[in-house]
Amino acid sequence: MFIWQFGLISQASQAASPDALLIERNARPLLAEGTLEALIPWETPLEGFFVRSHHNVLPAATDDSWTVMFDGLLAKPKKISVGELKKRNQISFHSLLECSGNGRGLFSPQVSGIQWQWGAVGNAEWSGVSLGDLFAELGVKANAEYVTVEGFDKPIIKSDAKFVRSIPLKLLIEAKAILAFKMNRQWMPIVHGGPVRLVVPGIYGQNWVKWVTRMTFTNEVDQRIYAKKAYRMPDKPVKPGEALDPAKLGKPIEHIRVQSIFTAPPRDAKLAAGPLALRGKTFSGTGAIKKVEISLDAGSSWQAAKLSRENIAWQEFEYVMQVREGKSYEAWARATDSMGNVQPVEPEWNPKGYLYNAVDRVRFVGDRSGAFLAEGKSLAEAHCQTCHSIDMAEGQRLSKNAWKETIKKMADFGLGGGAGLPDGDVEKIAAYFSGRFPPGMPGEEGASRRVDLSAAPSSLVGARANSGGLAKNEVVSGARGKKLFAVYCAACHGANGDVRGNEGGDEGNLALSGPVLKGRALTDATFWSSVVNGKRNMPPFKDVLTSAQIADIRAWIQLPQNK
């Protein structure tokens, strides 16, 4: 069984807002990369995790009856269902997933293919069963060298272009690969390969086969196109215009190259003079990141940035500098890993646009007037967009004075944490809304079309999971969740989760700043992402609450409201 992917995507695209966390690069099949905003959290939210498929159909039946056939050079070939896999010992870890074409749109001269920029990469928690354990159970024969992995990803028309990969057996063992059925503590979303996908830490994403149906152990590479010819990198330099036969001159793409990506400030931002923290992510599949250096003079000199995390999936870096009014800047970031691999200043050009890893660059300027509008955007996100989407401003198209009146009225209601909102902040928010959406009829913004997968929950989240990452046989409890909510959430969302807190004696408490939660239709993916990573003026709880506690809070919120 299958469903046409364009029907699913049409639903998501029509409901997308300009603040959605995915940028559509292709509609059929859906190819979408995360915005830079989506890359800011350490754990990438599902709504902003890039989507890559090769063909235009998705499986319809993705429950525990899904089976994976293990055959070929095995002592004990067998077919195992996802339900059976879930009964085995499970492991969980964070790992980076990156498309080997990430950054293709940054090559010069331009190359053909999907023009990914920075966002075809993400960091998630993956849960599943160890392939090493399965290999031991199946009895892999000594002459097996490759595992040909097949997924559901196949063309509509009859051809040999079914997506398969022949992966060296040694590589899967060394990478400690798993068959995963959870992603960020949710059952694997269909668009990300649910119910089961291959996860190969440190290796580019073409080997992370989605919707796995068969794994065949052989002593040679599969002869089909995606295994024999695709995803190969030239083994010698190639000049633009030079012919290349990837089957003869290429070598299979495997380990992720050392990289860094700026996530702040925004590209081409206008910033107020004063201290500025340059922030970003850095990672490598060939070793731990040892240092990230920043240059503000086109590589003539480099200064060390602060690395904030140990080498788990990707690391975060920060460098504080001073911005001067009227001065333009271009900051470069260069990472070095433990194997001595260093990001090059210029990328290794190739006709397929693979493995872009040149030093990342971000331009910005000291501009007081521009910073005024940027601050208005930040204030709007904190005080207005907690309850409303940006579509509200786009649809109303008010003048600046009309916005000031509206914002003051909302602040008087105590909504959005706006009690006593200073006139200066009101002025900045009004300037931002009226400047971004001038009075008149709504029109096209001209920005890249966004895709909001949370608008199509069935595509984003597979079989409903109320338990996140709970231990085996552990049951969620709404009663426990209510007590936890009172401690960690009620101060902002009200004792009843309805903002006004009409049960705890804080009716009309103007300090409340969170949106209504009780009775609100939130997908599991949205809820878990918001709690774990934080959102706008809400702090992250990933180091405060356990998965079981978060699941309990979720269970209480989903209980029917008292009438």
Pairing of strands 197-199, 212-218: unpaired
Selection from 286, 294, 349 nearest residue 317 by Cα = 294
What local confidence, expressed as pLDDT, does residue 463 receive?
34
What local confidence, expressed as pLDDT, does residue 13 receive?
41
Burial state string for 392-415 with b = 16 or more CB within 10 A and e = fewer than 16: ebbeebbeeeebbebbeebbeebb
Selection from 469, 492, 454, 88 nearest residue 500 by Cα = 492
> CATH fold of 466-558, please?
Cytochrome Bc1 Complex; Chain D, domain 2 (1.10.760)
Write the pLDDT tens digit of every residue in 453-482: 554 444 443 333 333 445 445 577 878 888
> CATH fold of 259-366, please?
Immunoglobulin-like (2.60.40)
CATH code assigned to 2-252: 3.90.420.10
Domain boundaries, the chain: 2-252, 259-366, 369-448, 466-558
The whole-chain average pLDDT of the chain stands at 83
Selection from 82, 53, 51, 54 nearest residue 66 by Cα = 82
Encoded amino acid at 17, one letter:
S
What local confidence, expressed as pLDDT, does residue 196 receive?
97
Encoded amino acid at 343, one letter:
Q
Write the pLDDT tens digit of every residue in 125-142: 999 999 999 999 999 999
Write the pLDDT tens digit of every residue in 501-553: 333 333 333 345 567 787 766 666 678 877 877 776 677 787 778 878 888 88
Is residue 461 within 8 Å of 449, Cβ to Cβ? no
Write the pLDDT tens digit of every residue in 404-454: 888 887 776 555 444 468 888 888 888 888 888 888 765 554 445 566 555
Is residue 151 within 8 Å of 59, Cβ to Cβ? no
Q: DSSP letters along 281-340, please?
A: EEE-SSS-EEEEEEESSTTSS-EEPEE-S-SSSSEEEEEEEEE-TT-EEEEEEEEEETT-
In the block, tokens 């493995």 appear at 355
Question: What is the average pLDDT across 339-344?
Answer: 97
**pLDDT-derived band of residue 185, with 50, 70 and 90 as boundaries?**
very high
pTM of the model: 0.74
The verdict on whether omega for the bond into residue 41 sits within 30 degrees of 0, i.e. cis, is no
